[in-house]
Structure 1
Amino acid sequence: MKLNLKVFTVLALAGAVAISGCSANKSGSGSSAEPTKAVKTETPAAPVDLTWFATVGGWNPPQWTTEPGTVMGEQTKKTGLTFTYNIPAQDGDTKLNLMMVSSSDAFPDVITTIGQDMGKKLVEAGKVWELKEFLTKYDPESHLLKGFPEDVKKQMIKHYGGWYAIGSHMTSVDARKVYPPSSDYFADVAKYADNKGVLVNANIMKEAGIKLSDLKTEDGVLAALKKVKDMKLTVDGQPVIPLQIQGKNYHGETLQYLHRSFGAMPINKDGKHRHIYMSPENKHAIQFLFKAAQGGYFDAGQMTTDEAAIEANVLSKRVFMFIGGTPKIGKFDQLDFWVSPGAILSSEGTKPVFPFYSEPGRGWMQTMISKSTKEPEKLAKWLSYVTSAEGMTLNHFGIEGVHYTKDGKGLITRTDKGIQAQKDSTKTAVGIFWQFENIAFFENVQPAPTKREGAGGLIEMEAKTAYARSPEVVRYDASVLNLPGDFFAPGSENATIRNQIQQYYEAQVAKMVLAKDEAAFNALYDEFVAKMKQLKVDKLDAAQDAELQKKSKEIGVTVKGVNS
């Protein structure tokens, strides 16, 4: 069943009209004009401006405008609201914590957080509304009270103790009941898509005489990187970069892909929780980057670069191989030469793994409504609107007839102007409201792509699904690893151990990758293992294993490590 979105006509507000009945005041007639009859008109209320605080790095919406024919202007027309943003460049959680304890009345009206802890702090401090209570009181006809995915709501309640947030990028069984996929293509994407992967520049690959099949193994990849480097290839006079990693977030994107490809799991062969950083496959993943650094296939400076530098390198068309977060692909939309080998098989013979979740997540961003807002009714109507089919269409696709068109089935295709507007989202606001992106909705209202290039094109989806489609990959249900909402409660021992481990891991990995030789690498790894034990990784493992066993019984799923 496909959802046909209604086409809404925007009515212009009529100005005051003075109606006068006049006779033809002919010369010498002695008649006079009838008095003008005043007509009462209502002046539209000025929109109310509220504050929106976000701890999301990289979210950069344009200043709010009420200009008709714009995403923000049309949203204001529908909701009567405008927003002033407070988006700290850094330490957003720290600043929000200070605002929570301040006696000032300047607490924001809308709050968007990421991560495990900040949302729970807001709930525990009584700063935000439980949404069923909020909507029942201020917008009892809201579609959210009837159609919000129950399986996602269940996860919210487990985590927060109630339904306190709208999560971004929702995708779940119940979400797809509301918005069924428009084609089998999207059904496959739901099963196989992953946000981490490997991409190869087919043009450079051809020039170097390398086949995609050569890149199916770790040894093959390292040999190809060496060949590309030794050939001293150039693109537009600039040297080819054999390997591009995910900049300063390589440990969170590049290494996570290598973990999966080399078979690392946070569960051992006995079905016990074992921190993924303590798995032999983690060592092997780091060792791959060590070998790549030793060979000069990527410059050590990449490990501290930002997203803009990564994008500049890739858009120059001189990157041979990119390993990292596949959402970046959407920004490389004029490049149609990407291909992917899928999984890179470890030289040690371990099986690649792919975690899927039979239970949905809560979403990435978590957007909450402040109890201190002076406009609860307007905010309730706004929340209902921006999460509705009409609101999501406006926010993500823009203005019909300008930024997109619909076919006979109601499926949406962006125009050239719409494609450019999405690229310029920080100026146009088309596609900038990530907080309300709903993957199930997008897959319901868009046709399957037919072009390789472009954000959401075949090249992007091929790359995102190539890994999980690799026949060697073993899928496992990672839902057994879902933890209770208070497991990493702020200030708890579990949270302290986790944070100390992550901080140490990031520092030590950099040393290992840049070690002077194999002996130094191994010494640094031994040091890493010893320090992890000092940081109480075993204690955290024991606590997580207890939850793993409980969760396994609860959902009737048993998972065991397939490698070490």
Structure 2
Amino acid sequence: MKEEDVMNKRSLPLLLLAIAITAAAASGCKDTTAERSGSGEEGEAAVKAKVSPYPAALSYWVPMNANVAATMDSFAEIGVYREMERLTGTKVDFQHSPMGQDKDQFHLMIASGKLPDVIEYSWSGVTKGPDNAIKENRIIRLNELVEKFAPNLSKVLRDNPEFRQLVLSDEGNLYMFPSFTPDPGSLVYNGLAIRQDWLDRLGLPMPATLPEWERTLTAFRDMDPNGNGRKDEIPLLLDLKVMNTGHALIGAYGITTGFYNDSGEVKYGPVDPRFKELLIVMNRWYKEGLIDKDYATVDQKLKDAKMTEGIVGAMAMNIGYGIGTYTSAMAQVDPDFRLEGAPYPSLEPGGTSIGQMAYSFNGRGAAISASAENPEKIVRWLDYAYGEAGQLLFNFGIEGESYTLKDGYPTFSDTVVNNSGKLGVGYAMTRYARGAFAGPYISDKRFNEQYMSMPQQTRAVAVWSKADHARLLPPLTQNSAESVKITAMMNDIQAYYEDRVNKFIMGVEPLEQFDNFTASIRRMGIDEVLRMKQAALDRFMKR
């Protein structure tokens, strides 16, 4: 489509939207200043002045995203928020915590009581829970405000009762504007990926069981699959945090490295005897050089460097920042480079494994602080993202710049898809929209269809989707008393777990000490945590 055609198509929707906003300001969506002033002269003056239904300015705290940080300093630079300012007149002061300090900065901010107008965070993991944040006058209950001033979100919740069950707290509070992903195909995004070109070069099949993986990794170690004549290959680059997220390898034993749902009963994988079986395998792989010897100290930057150096054979990764990023980065460096998603390995042929699958709501959303002025205006501003125009804006950015409508289908422009920068298409999309990462809007599956533009990405999702997802826990809400206890106990348990697991894998701690390991976790209170998690699951099922 020619540029002038794009601009002509763009002008009419924007004109209609401007008319709609003006009409809304003059009619039902009048300013609350006028409402509170009654029918007096001051109220009439406000109505005549057509005061905007949106706030003139607001402060907005949100953790910095890695995709954004790669090319921008603030969310204010993203096209979606530049356009939101143009459409609504609202100037947003974004406040970001430094990368990696989100949790600490959030709790310091909440404790201080000096709060911005909007706080976007993963509220399901907040100490004492969101209900207590309402009781302590940190954020406000939104049920009535959303019903009155947020027609778009109200419709979404009415039309999708399963979303409402996920979003409401145990006490029935709607406490934030949620991040929704309705499309099941967009909820699977993590799993093991392997160098298919190495498999082809060595004449090996795709491994599907743990024994097959061991034989494959051994071949990667011994048979010079990268063809440089040096024994520099890292068969498997292990990342325990990613394994915790996606359950790669551990899922073969029917457990996870955290909490999971066993037919309605909450259980904790690391105290299960089957966890020791995994550690025995990991310890053997580490001793035999099948796992990167430095895996415990490798950060994201080092992982990227090792992958793009062409020495890693397999790693658990995401579909975007993973298969997409590395494939794009290696396209010119090594034309033979080919990553493919591998099945979640089972113990035996034809067996099953727990895999990664997110829920349509993961606990993240934008709450309004109790200190915010004109919360009804902020509600209207946040609600914009849940309407048809807002869904296009938040997922695809600015029409005519980052996307065009082709037969009604929002199609990313060459500026995004054919981005020549080495960061890849995901970063290019992030310069314009929030589709590449969660936020207070509804994820559009048409974004994912283009985000996964590479056939190997589509194939990976299809393969990873075959894993067992029945044992994954929904996002649970702990009450205030439970949350304080769980946070205190799990901080100690998790630190102990990570320290001991690495020592077991690297052989620093003998596996004969596994029973002492599980006994220590029980002394630290895991059984009480399980009791409280079980209570939360029971409450969730009764919502």
* TM-score (ref. length: structure 2): 0.75
Q: Residue 289 of structure 1 aligns to a residue in which SS? A: helix
Q: Residue 366 of structure 2 aligns to a residue in which SS? A: strand
Q: CA deviation at 1:383?
A: 0.5
TM alignment of 1:157-236, pairs within 5 A = 157-159=168-170, 161-171=172-182, 189=185, 194-212=188-206, 215-234=207-226
TM alignment of 1:316-335, pairs within 5 A = 316-329=309-322, 330-334=324-328
Instruction: State whether structure 2 residue 83 is matched by structure 1 residue 74.
Output: yes
Q: Percent identity at matched positions?
A: 19
State the partner residue of 1:345.
Answer: 346
Q: Which amino acid aligns with 1:227?
A: A
C-alpha spacing 1:509/1:108, structure 2 compared with 1 (3 Å): same
State the partner residue of 2:37.
Answer: none
State the partner residue of 1:154.
Answer: 165
TM alignment of 1:542-553, pairs within 5 A = 542-545=531-534
Q: Choose from 522, 528, 540 the match for 1:533.
A: 522
Q: Which amino acid aligns with 2:58?
A: L
Give the distance between the partners of 2:313 and 2:112, measured in 1 at CA: 51
1:436-463 Cα distance to aligned partner (Å, 9 max, x none): 3534xx22x46956xxxx6354322321
Aligned residues: 478
Instruction: State whether structure 2 residue 280 is matched by structure 1 residue 287.
Output: yes
TM alignment of 1:5-404, pairs within 5 A = 9-11=13-15, 48-55=56-63, 58=66, 60=68, 62-63=72-73, 70-89=79-98, 90-102=100-112, 106-114=114-122, 115-118=124-127, 120=130, 121-136=132-147, 139=149, 142-148=151-157, 149-159=160-170, 161-171=172-182, 189=185, 194-212=188-206, 215-234=207-226, 239-246=232-239, 249-253=241-245, 256-264=247-255, 272-329=265-322, 330-334=324-328, 337-346=338-347, 351-353=352-354, 362-404=361-403
C-alpha spacing 1:545/1:381, structure 2 compared with 1 (3 Å): closer
Contact preservation (8 Å) 2:320, 2:426: no
Contact preservation (8 Å) 2:67, 2:427: no
Q: Which amino acid aligns with 2:301?
A: A
Give the distance between the partners of 1:66 and 1:503, measured in 2 at CA: 36
Q: Which amino acid aligns with 1:292?
A: W
Q: Residue 541 of structure 1 aligns to a residue in which SS? A: helix
Give the distance between the partners of 1:547 and 1:93, measured in 2 at CA: 22
Q: Residue 267 of structure 2 aligns to a residue in which SS? A: coil
Q: Which amino acid aligns with 2:478?
A: G
C-alpha spacing 1:340/1:73, structure 2 compared with 1 (3 Å): closer
Unmatched 5+ stretches in structure 1: 14-41, 172-180, 182-186, 556-564
Contact preservation (8 Å) 2:401, 2:413: yes
C-alpha spacing 1:325/1:534, structure 2 compared with 1 (3 Å): farther
1:383-438 Cα distance to aligned partner (Å, 9 max, x none): 11123221232232122233223332x12222221233742356555646631353
Q: Which amino acid aligns with 1:170?
A: T
Contact preservation (8 Å) 1:250, 1:303: no
CA RMSD of aligned residues (A): 4.0
Q: Residue 175 of structure 2 aligns to a residue in which SS? A: coil
Give the distance between the partners of 2:112 and 2:538, measured in 1 at CA: 42
Larger Rg: 1
C-alpha spacing 1:332/1:264, structure 2 compared with 1 (3 Å): same
C-alpha spacing 1:269/1:424, structure 2 compared with 1 (3 Å): closer
C-alpha spacing 1:318/1:506, structure 2 compared with 1 (3 Å): same
* TM-score (ref. length: structure 1): 0.72
Q: CA deviation at 1:509?
A: 0.8
Contact preservation (8 Å) 2:191, 2:356: no
Unmatched 5+ stretches in structure 2: 1-8, 19-48, 332-336, 420-424
Instruction: State whether structure 2 residue 512 is matched by structure 1 residue 523.
Output: yes
Instruction: State whether structure 2 residue 506 is matched by structure 1 residue 498.
Output: no
Contact preservation (8 Å) 1:249, 1:303: no
Q: Which has the higher helix share?
A: 2
Q: Residue 413 of structure 1 aligns to a residue in which SS? A: strand
